[in-house]
Amino acid sequence: MKRLLYTIWICCIMVLCCGCDNGQIQAPRRYMDTAMGTVISQSIYCPGEEGARNFTNRSMALLRELEQEMLSRRLETSELFRINASAGSQEGCQISLELFRLLQECTELSQASEGAFEITLGELVELWNIDQWAVGEPEQEKPAFSQEEILRVRDLCGYYRMKLESKEEYRIFLPEGMSLDLGAVGKGYALDRMRTILEEEEEITGAILSVGGNVLTYGRKPDGSSWKVGIVNPFEISSNIGVLSLEGQWCVSTSGDYERYVEVEGVRYHHILDPATGYPARSGVRSVTILSENGMQGDALSTACFILGPEKGMALAATYGVQALFILEDGQLVLSEGMERYWSESEQ
């Protein structure tokens, strides 16, 4: 519950989709709901109520289906649950073409990021107990395990040890002890799927959607102004450090150390893990924002770039043709050239 309330707040800060309410100009229709363990906010420009309602009904059904049938690690109904339960078996696990493609793309991202992005670290996520950390509420309890335990569990990970097979059907084989976690891509992937529904609803002229802080902009506002997406200030998370002004169709994905963490004796343990060490990444970065056309890629790259740090991260972003913004521990902002075009810093 606390996590949801906190996320509602962060979403409100991030999405400054200001519609004009001055009579002549159509205001957006706003909807808030929860799915995939997070807050979904949708602002839709559509002349008729029905078109917007159709869309939100379809999009919420889609998100619930994605969670229940594909992405959840906890629900026994999901493909991911079945995959993880099959680890170590000879016959592996049969999966849908959709998930097969998503996992293939994850493998490419792991290769491109030299293993920084690593969906096979499910057991490490379990060990750190990340899902239990209340968002925005650092507990003071020390994680109760040893370095040996961390290294032992880290050694269970490695995308190159997971095997994908496509013959008459699609299968995946995980070695004993390995499990997958799609927490770093699920929300971005969901936005890609929501965009497809938007395209089908012809009445909708513009929309700005947020799935737990990952934002999709679509079409245009009736008054012709740009979409405004606020970027949280990691040093003062109740405010924005700046705003992206965007035209048309974009995905904005941010990974930060303030989203979910515990603090022990002045050390912050956050939820973005470095597969090389088994510990939360220490790359001198507080947050990374990726601006991309593809939501799944943007989501994965924001996580990977956080771990890689600004130099390697910028190079990775460039190979994917996406824009990046790094906020460093010393307060410095590092922006890719393309990002500068959309960025304006908040006045302090």
Binding site for ligand ADP (CB under 6 A): 116-119, 121, 125, 130, 181, 183-184, 255, 259, 271-273, 275, 299, 302-303, 307
Question: Which residue from 48, 14, 62, 36 is spatially nearest to 185, judged by alpha carbons?
Answer: 36
Residue 55, contacted partner among ligand ADP, Mg ion, none, CB below 5-8 A by kind: none
CB of 106 to ligand ADP, least distance (A): 8
Q: Which is nearer to ligand ADP, 7 or 43 (CB)?
A: 7
Residue 307, contacted partner among ligand ADP, Mg ion, none, CB below 5-8 A by kind: ligand ADP
Q: Which is nearer to ligand ADP, 127 or 335 (CB)?
A: 127
CB of 124 to ligand ADP, least distance (A): 8
Residue 305, contacted partner among Mg ion, ligand ADP, none, CB below 5-8 A by kind: none
Q: Which is nearer to ligand ADP, 39 or 121 (CB)?
A: 121
Amino acid letter at 173? F
Alpha helices in 28-96, H assignment, sequence order: 49-66, 79-85
Q: Which is nearer to ligand ADP, 116 or 246 (CB)?
A: 116
Residue 118, contacted partner among Mg ion, ligand ADP, none, CB below 5-8 A by kind: ligand ADP
Task: Tell me if 113 contacts Mg ion by CB under 5 A.
Answer: no
Distance in angstroms (rounded) separating the CA atoms of residues 39 and 249 = 21
Distance in angstroms (rounded) separating the CA atoms of residues 335 and 182 = 27
Distance in angstroms (rounded) separating the CA atoms of residues 303 and 268 = 17
CB of 201 to ligand ADP, least distance (A): 26
CB of 118 to ligand ADP, least distance (A): 4
Q: Which residues contact 170 (CB under 8 A, 6 or more apart)?
A: 94, 95, 96, 97, 99, 100, 164
Do residues 26 and 47 touch, judged by C-beta distance below 8 A?
yes
Alpha helices in the chain, H assignment, sequence order: 2-14, 49-66, 79-85, 97-112, 122-128, 147-154, 186-200, 295-319, 337-340
Task: Tell me if 127 contacts Mg ion by CB under 5 A.
Answer: no
Residue 117, contacted partner among Mg ion, ligand ADP, none, CB below 5-8 A by kind: ligand ADP
Radius of gyration of the chain (CA): 20
Residue 91 belongs to what H/E stretch?
none
CB of 210 to ligand ADP, least distance (A): 11
Q: Which is nearer to Mg ion, 84 or 302 (CB)?
A: 302
Residue 143: DSSP 8-state: P
Distance in angstroms (rounded) separating the CA atoms of residues 173 and 141 = 36
Task: Tell me if 192 contacts Mg ion by CB under 5 A.
Answer: no
One residue of 38, 120, 297, 303 binding Mg ion per CB under 5 A: 303
Residue 272, contacted partner among Mg ion, ligand ADP, none, CB below 5-8 A by kind: ligand ADP
Q: Which is nearer to ligand ADP, 181 or 192 (CB)?
A: 181
- Please give the residue whose beta carbon sits closest to ligand ADP in the complex: 183
Reading the block at residue 2, the tokens are 């606390």
Residue 125 neighbours by CB distance under 10 Å: 20
Task: Tell me if 287 contacts Mg ion by CB under 5 A.
Answer: no
Distance in angstroms (rounded) separating the CA atoms of residues 218 and 59 = 14
CB of 115 to ligand ADP, least distance (A): 9
One residue of 184, 231, 251, 317 binding Mg ion per CB under 5 A: 184
Residue 234, contacted partner among ligand ADP, Mg ion, none, CB below 5-8 A by kind: none
Q: Do β-strands 227-232 and 240-246 pair in parallel, antiparallel, or remain unpaired?
A: antiparallel
Q: Which is nearer to ligand ADP, 28 or 275 (CB)?
A: 275
For 67-93, b where at least 16 C-beta lie within 10 A, e where not — what string? bbbbbbbeeeebbbbebbebbeeeebb
**Residue ranges in contact with Mg ion by CB under 5 A:** 184, 299, 302-303
